[in-house]
Each structure stands twice: as structure tokens, then as C-alpha cells.
Amino acid sequence: MNKFITLYPANWLYNAAVIGFLRVIAYGKGEEVIDKWLSDNGTVTIERGIFSESVAFYKGYNKHKGEKELPLVGKNKRYPNYLQSGEESAFEDYSKNLSNIKEEGIACGICSRNFSIDFSQFNDKTKKIAERITSNIQVIHNSLIGPSKGEFPNSFWNLNYSISICPLCAYLIIHHHIPFESAQTQNGQIFINAPSFKIMWHLNKFVEQIFSKSKGYQVRQILGISFIELAQKVAVTLGAWSIMNIEMVIKRGNEIEYYSLPYEISRLLLQKDIASLISATKEPLILEIILNGKFSHLLTLSHKILRYSITETNAFNDKYLSQLRNKDTKSLKILSNILPELYTRINSIISREVMI
Ligand SMILES: [Zn+2]
């Protein structure tokens, strides 16, 4: 049996579950392990042996977050009755056996793979858990699914209630809340979904870092800043198809919404040189201008700074200059050097597209 299992990105619920699982493993083993597993082709290749420790890491992670070690037992807010009390050690036994998973069953409705496991090797208690959690997808896998039944059919990622769930997804899914809950915005909890685990791993980590600095960002700014961080810090090349498929999933109460930036704006923010220039300005206004697609305003602002530096009057009355965070001479000089270059680079990318 191959020592590794390769997972492919699928729908956002599955993707968030895998990213949550990787966070738990990173908590237990360090981020270097995850960096080795993530591939540029978008897949993640996990070591089968990790399942012998993963529940222990899950417990440690939850404890670290000030929660119960296994917040899956009986009534609970996320995965109601996933486990019954007294089943905790049998659940550990279940997860350890995932290292023996094979691809020879029926297609899973979540990951589309054919993962299966031989239940006959389990003791009665473990078998009972396995039978419960690997039957069709249901409220135990996500408390959102239960109340949504009948109330807003199909609004939850086109969910079909007779959808089957494989033994691996049945386990991974108890991690899906992790990235969402570490990104609590005024608009709801968010997760950035993308057609690559590597991209999702980094973007969602940047989102978490953005929140540790300020909770006041709007979703478009969060997406914009996380793109700028990705472009500068991670060596990835994204094709048009990948860029078009990066979306933010916003969970508010029982509702799910999706948000994405226009392709042209995303493409600019994901260019390393442009991202570096925007960061170097240290001015939120510059990102705002770009998010609005008003690129010529960069030149207008540049001219105004030049005029202001000569006359030093009316700066606070001007609708652009008044929005700048740093109005001292040194900062304005830096800004006036960056803006024309930023505008030229943006323009060259956009016009290149038009010529093709
Ligand atoms: Zn599956």
C-alpha cells in the first residue's frame, strides 16, 4: 500500500475540512510538514501514518482554543450527536484505521473518490460509529444541514440529502469549522475557496493574520490584502482559470454567500511587482483605488502630491490628499515616486491583454 494519500480540491465544504485538518496537523507537527505535503499542482499528499496521531492533535488544538477536547459528543453546536458519550476512545480507534483506507468503494458525494474501509476489523463500538458517520451526509456532519432541510432546500451548496459520504470525508468534515471560525468578520465567518490546497492554505492563513491586526476590514479589502500577501510571500503562478475560481465563502447564521473580486482586479493584485508596490505605499487608499478599478486616480493623486509639495497648501481640503494616512513630506515623497511606476505597470498589463 502506498504510504501516502493524495487529495484533490473539491467543493468548499470539503476544502474547508481539509484545510482545517491541515491546521490541526500543523498544530501538532509544525507547519513545515504541511509545506512538504502541499503541491504546486493544487493537491495535498498526506502521510497515512498521520491518522494514528490526528485525534490527539485535534484534542490538543481544541483545548488550546479553550474548548472541550472532543466537542463532538451529544448535543453540540457544530456536529450534533456525531459521537455519543462513552465513544471517545472507539472514535480514536476509527481514525487510526483510516491509514488503511482503500480506493475501491462507491463514489463519495463529497470528495467524488471511492474511498472505503473494511469495517469487519472494528470492534462493535467502533463499528457502530463507522456505520453512523459514514451513512448519508446529515446533521451530525454539519449543524447547518439539519435546520436547512426544508427551510431553504438546495441553497446550501446544492446539497442533496441522499448524498453518500466516504469514511475519510466523514472524519475530515469535523475540521471544516476551523478556518471559518478563525476569520470572524462583521459580515460573518469567511473561508477563501480556491482550486488549489496550497493557495487555500496560504490565503486563509493571511486572512487570519489580517484579523489579528484589525477586525474592521470589509470582505473586498480582506480578499485584496490576502492576494497582495500571497503574491509577495508565496512562489506560485496562477493561471486565469485558477484566478477566476478563487471565491470567498461567507457563512452568516444559516446562510451562505459567495464573494469574489473581478478577474482583472484579482490578476493585478496577484502580480508580485504590483503587490510589492502597493504594499510599499503603506496607504490603504491605494488599495481602495485599485479595488475600485479607478487606475487613473493613481496619476491624479501623484499630480496632487507634487503640487502640494511645492505649495504646501490645501492638503486637507483635497478629496484625495485628505484620505492619505501619512501626510508628512517624507512619506509623500515616497508615494509620489511609487505612484507613476505603479500606474505604468498596471497599464502595461491591461493594455497587453487588449492587444491580444
Ligand atoms: Zn469522500
From 179, 207, 225, the end of a domain falls on 179
User: Among 57, 8, 34, which residue's Cα sits nearest to residue 174?
Assistant: 57
Q: How far is the CA of 352 from the centre of ligand 1 (A)?
A: 42
Can you tell me the distance from the alpha carbon of 298 to that of 66, in angstroms, rounded to the nearest whole number?
46
pLDDT reading at 155 higher than 80: no
How far away, in angstroms, is 227 Cα from ligand 1 center? 29
Domain boundary, last residue among 129, 162, 179 = 179
Residues 33 and 160 in one domain: yes
Distance CA 203, CA 246 (A): 10
* Residues 150 and 221 reside in one and the same domain: no
Answer yes or no: do 261 and 319 share one domain: no
- pLDDT-derived band at 122 (thresholds 50, 70, 90) equals confident
pLDDT value for 95: 94
Phi, then psi, of 271 in degrees rounded to 5: -85, 125
Q: What is the CA(180)–ligand 1 centre distance, in A?
A: 20
Residue 323 has pLDDT above 80, yes or no: yes
Are 193 and 175 members of one domain? no
In DSSP terms, 342 is beta-bridged to none
Q: What pLDDT, in 10s, does the model give residues 156-178?
A: 445 555 678 899 999 999 999 99
CA of 109 to the centre of ligand 1 (A): 7
Per-residue confidence at 199, pLDDT binned at 50, 70, 90?
very high
- The CA 200 to ligand 1 mean position distance, Å, reads 19
Residue 11 CA, ligand 1 centroid: distance in Å: 11
Mean confidence (pLDDT) of the chain = 88
pLDDT band of 132, cuts 50, 70, 90? confident
Domain boundary at 202, 231, 266, which?
266
pLDDT tens digits along 71-104: 999 888 888 888 989 999 999 999 999 999 999 8
Q: Residues 55, 157: one domain?
A: yes
For residues 161 and 290, membership in a common domain is answered with no
- Which residues constitute the domain of residue 78? 4-179
Q: Percentage of residues in the chain with pLDDT exceeding 90?
A: 60
Do both 172 and 190 map to the same domain? no
Domain count, the chain: 3
Identify residue 316 by its one-letter amino acid code: F
- Quote the ligand 1 centre to 137 CA distance (angstroms): 10
Ligand 1 centroid – CA 10 distance (Å): 10
- Same domain? For 170 and 208 the reply is no
Neighbours of 325 (CB within 10 A): 10
Question: Distance, CA 95 to ligand 1 centroid (Å)?
Answer: 14
Question: Does one domain contain both 260 and 313?
Answer: no
Same domain, 23 and 65: yes
What number is the average pLDDT over the span 299-312?
83
Output the CA 112–ligand 1 centroid distance in Å: 6
Three-state DSSP string of the chain:
CCCEEEECCCCHHHHHHHHHHHHHHHHHHCHHHHHHHECCCCCEEEEHHHHHCHHHHHHHHHHHCCCCCCCCECCCCCCCCCECCCCHHHHHHHHHHHHHCEECCCCCCCCCCCEECCHHHCCHHHHHHHHHHCCCCCHHHCCCHHHHCCCCCCCCCCCCCCCCCCHHHHHHHHHCHHHHHCCEECCEEEEEECCCHHHHHHHHHHHHHHHHHCCCCCHHHHHHHHHHHHHHHCCCCCCHHHHHCCEEEEEECCEEEEECCCHHHHHHHCCHHHHHHHHHHCCHHHHHHHHCCCCHHHHHHHHHHHHHHHHCCCCCCCCCHHHCCCCCHHHHHHHHHHHHHHHHHHHHHHHHHHHC
State the distance from the centre of ligand 1 to the C-alpha of 116, rounded, in angstroms: 9
Q: Is 62 within 8 Å of 71 (Cβ atoms)?
A: yes
Same domain, 34 and 113: yes
Task: Please give the distance, rounded to the nearest whole angstrom, from the Cα atom of residue 134 to the centre of ligand 1.
Answer: 10
d(CA 292, CA 290): 5
How many whole angstroms from 130 Cα to the centroid of ligand 1?
Answer: 14
Cα 351 from Cα 356, distance rounded (Å): 9
Q: Do 210 and 189 fall within a single domain?
A: yes
